[in-house]
Structure 1
Amino acid sequence: MRRPSRSSTAAPAFAPSARSQVPPFTVMSILGRVAELRAAGHDVVSLCAGEPGGGAPPAVDAAAAAVHASGRALTYTPALGLPQLRAAVAGHYRRWYGLDVRPEQVAITTGSSGAFMLGFLAAFSPGDRVLLPRPGYPAYRNILAALGVEVADVDVDAGTRYQPTVAHLEAALAEGPVAGLVLASPANPTGTMVSADELAELARWCEEHGVRLVSDEIYHGIVHTDGQGPGACAWRTSRTALVVSSFSKYWGMPGWRLGWMLMPDDLAAAVDGLAGSVALCPPAAAQEAAVHAFTEESYAFCAEQAGGFTATRGVVLAALPRLAWADAAPADGAFYLWARLAPGMLAEFGSAVGYCAALLEEAGVALTPGDDFDAVHGPESVRLSFAAGSDAVHEALERIAAWHAARGLA
């Protein structure tokens, strides 16, 4: 029997894939509105993005200028990065953590986002169940969901300093098989950290239960409490963990799009095979320049920048009584403050989205509403980034306090 032919006038039924239906990152939408307001002549202070204001170390900038001034062609690099940069990253782990890391265990990636994509592809299969602390960075969830991985929230709160515990993991395991845990310390959006002992306990639990630990360590070095060093590295305890880091935060290089991953030996071949197809290679010029991020001069520059973040954090914490926000996370590291809006603010604006929109339009200050980071409690919370530096933060805090007073919200 012949099938009926389609009408030549019928439009084909095209639609986006189900896996692509992830929400946009609100920060990017807010940055777009900030750009519009500034283009229209408005003075806006943006504290919504985690972009360090100090820029790259001078030695990195100089190296990049020399690369481009040379006039030579920039060609593809090896898929996992330039050998000299992989060796420099390995040396960094000896310097900061006393760890013996082989250069071939390092994968240079297109930002930490590239590392998460490659790592998740290599470590997890569709249908696997991966644990994410909530509140947490939304891109973890969105990448995993796009790959067909089931995301299971671990609801953390002030009682455990917004970090998961073994008790959380045991409870999650009782509800079904667990393939992975994504842990960030310092965390976005809370800035909270796990201690070396706490990380070791979590890493051991993961190994014992066949759970792949993905340790996000991109804010290491930006630490505001004594005794933490640059932060605890998961490879001190478990070489089955996948460790992700980046040049974007401590080195102040977000737009250079360079990150890296420490690859467990069992994943190295898979990551290598995927890397050549997913991104071909990281940016060549950025890689050549980034080797100079590990000089004595660059370490000193970055330490000074991190000290500035610590000082600015103190200013933000001191201003909390004037802002009348509640339940602020302790912000041990990174450059974020996570806090809950007062009941009167929620009554006035309905949610953190409404509050942040009014603050931007009326006072010219951009903050991030908490919805992206926590679908349950986020609509009542805001994230303030103090990465833009002391002057911007001082100005923003004054504007927020004045706006609260004018609105009767103080």
Structure 2
Amino acid sequence: MPTNLQVAQRVHAIEPFRVMEMVKAAGEMKRSGIDVISMSVGEPDFTAPDVVAHAAMEAIRAGSTQYTDSLGLRELREAISGHYAAVHGLDIDARRIVVTAGASAGLLLACAALVADGDEVLMPDPCYPCNRHFVSAFGGKPVLVPSPAEDRYQLSAAHVEEHWNARTSGVLVASPSNPTGTSMTPSQLREVLAAVRTRGGFAIIDEIYQGLSYDHAPVSALALDPDAITVNSFSKYFSMTGWRLGWLVVPEALVATFEKLAQNLFICAPTVAQQAALACFTPEALAIYEERRREFQRRRDYLVPALRALGFQVPVMPDGAFYVYADISALPHAASGDSTAFAWSVLHDAHVAIVPGDDFGFAAPARHVRFSYATRFERIEEAVARLARVLRA
């Protein structure tokens, strides 16, 4: 690139996604013949069920591959509306649903619509790193609020009251969360939404892991505040990561704003993925998804006690997603208190790929690592056995 070209200033506020270095190293080890167990990437090991894949192929054969409405296929928006009725008992008008090119595009649209230059947006620490970068990309300032285990690693109304100021415009939270796998309790979510509403701010709630809830029925923010903006995805519960399809539910007064942005920024979400997603809501597909959800729960119920037995501290049982956020500070092997060094040593000594905490915020990241149990049960058992050998050496 010519040396006289300057990168836009906003780029400097976006940090590298450091976990990808770990993923690259694990990939190189695999290519050299080493058996590496991946517990790093947040991607289901399941793929789209056959009924969904067949729907995509039928759409291609029928030539149903041209642009859709920028808000998404009408039939898909109606199917999503029906899903809210079936799962949450909510009557969500399909006109309020915006189909997006993955949840990432949904979060970008939400930040483009609501975040102005200099606006501060509160979010918990730890949290998914891209969420704060979406805010930065539109000139906002993400304010990460240390959210300890006592708060389920989630933002609380007390946090909102303490950190809200004249520059604060809203909050962005995820429930269940990446990297912790913890959800906000209904009362916690209700109180946060009320605190934001009282101050005239916006609430963006990332609900992409809600389908993967294990200990209780999930509660959507839409049941507590009709003006909340929720983000969801076909990637996690519906096992369609590479299909790049998600959706938003927005207040009716903002539909035209989101439509204008979607028209200009994306035109529409991938048409074949939208056609295929219609099959996600068939009884055949839903039965498969529920079976997979129970399998994820089985993995969690094995992994958390196993990690605790090895000396990892997991103070809050993750109730959703497929992550465990574990404190390594009590492990002799991690006496340096450096989760990055610990993760690299685990990769090289145990051939198990995990993620250090430094991608997820600034609240004690060196004490924490994230395990993903989005891999086969037998591989998780083998990973625990390898960790035991290394940690006891």
Equivalence map 1:215-226=2 (5 Å): 215-225=205-215
How far apart are 1:219 and its partner, in Å? 0.6
How far apart are 1:25 and its partner, in Å? 1.5
- For residues 44-77 of structure 1, the C-alpha deviation after alignment (integer angstroms, 9 at most, x for no partner) is 1101111111212331122123233x16362111
Does 2:30 match 1:38? Answer: yes
2:78 aligned residue: 87
**Which of 327, 332, 343 is the matching residue for 1:340?**
327
1:57 aligned residue: 49
How far apart are 1:160 and its partner, in Å? 1.6
**Which of 180, 185, 188 is the matching residue for 1:190?**
180
Q: Deviating runs (4+, > 6 A) in structure 1? A: none
CA contact (8 A) 1:190 1:330 kept: no
2:112 aligned residue: 121
Equivalence map 1:7-406=2 (5 Å): 13-21=4-12, 22-68=14-60, 70=61, 72=63, 74-173=65-164, 175-225=165-215, 228-229=216-217, 231-343=218-330, 344-348=332-336, 351-406=338-393
Change (3 A) 1:126 1:388: same
CA contact (8 A) 2:307 2:384 kept: no
SS of alignment partner, residue 79 of structure 1: coil
How far apart are 1:159 and its partner, in Å? 1.6
Distance 1:320 1:31 in 2: 22
Distance 1:119 1:113 in 2: 10
Q: Which amino acid aligns with 1:58?
A: D
> Structure 1 stretch 284-293 or stretch 263-272: which is displaced more?
263-272
- For residues 286-331 of structure 1, the C-alpha deviation after alignment (integer angstroms, 9 at most, x for no partner) is 1100001011111111111000011110111221234211244320
**TM-score (norm. length: structure 1):** 0.91
SS of alignment partner, residue 335 of structure 2: helix
CA contact (8 A) 1:44 1:366 kept: yes
Distance 1:128 1:83 in 2: 34
CA RMSD, Structure 1 to Structure 2 (Å) = 1.6
Distance 1:306 1:73 in 2: 31
CA contact (8 A) 1:328 1:338 kept: no
SS of alignment partner, residue 72 of structure 1: coil
How far apart are 1:99 and its partner, in Å? 1.0
CA contact (8 A) 1:335 1:387 kept: yes
SS of alignment partner, residue 117 of structure 2: coil
- For residues 6-60 of structure 1, the C-alpha deviation after alignment (integer angstroms, 9 at most, x for no partner) is xxxxx76222111012112223332222222212221111011111112123311
How far apart are 1:342 and its partner, in Å? 2.8
Distance 1:77 1:117 in 2: 20
Distance 2:329 2:119 in 1: 39
Distance 1:377 1:232 in 2: 29
Distance 2:41 2:321 in 1: 12
Change (3 A) 1:86 1:242: same
Q: Which amino acid aligns with 1:79?
A: S
Provide the identity percentage.
35
Distance 2:246 2:18 in 1: 22
SS of alignment partner, residue 179 of structure 1: strand
SS of alignment partner, residue 261 of structure 1: strand
CA contact (8 A) 1:37 1:44 kept: yes
Distance 2:96 2:44 in 1: 28
Which has the higher Rg, Structure 1 or Structure 2? 1
Distance 1:71 1:81 in 2: 19
SS of alignment partner, residue 378 of structure 2: helix
Distance 2:389 2:264 in 1: 52
